[in-house]
Amino acid sequence: MRKVNRVIMLAALAFCTSSVAYANSYCELDGAYTESGEYVYGECYMYNKDYGELDGAYTESGEYVYGECYRYSKDYAELEGAYTESGEYVYGECYFY
C-alpha cells in the first residue's frame, strides 16, 4: 500500500512540475508580423502552461501590440487575437528558448 501511495505522489509531482515549468515564463516573438507586413518584436508572458499575454510587444514603427498567446507544444506558442494600436491584425508565433 505504501508503494502505491509513493507512486501516486511521484506521478502527481511530475505532473505539477511540468505544468508549472511554463507558468511565469516568457516566450520570444519570432516571425510575427502585421497585416501590412511590418515585423513585430517582443515577448509573451505565460500566466500558466497554456495561456499568456503579449508584454512589451511593438511594431517596427513603434506601435504597441496587444493580444494573447497559446502554447501548442513544448517549445512553441501562437498569437491569437493580436492587434496593433490602430487595429491592424498581428500574426505569428513565439518560442521558448
Write out pLDDT tens, residues 9-54: 545 444 444 445 667 899 999 999 999 999 999 999 999 999 999 9
pTM of the model: 0.74
Q: How far apart are CA 86 and CA 67, in angstroms?
A: 13
Residues whose CB is less than 8 angstroms from the CB of residue 19 and which lie 6 or more positions away in sequence, other chains included: 48, 49
Q: What is the tally of structural domains in the chain?
A: 1
The domain in which residue 24 lies consists of 2-95
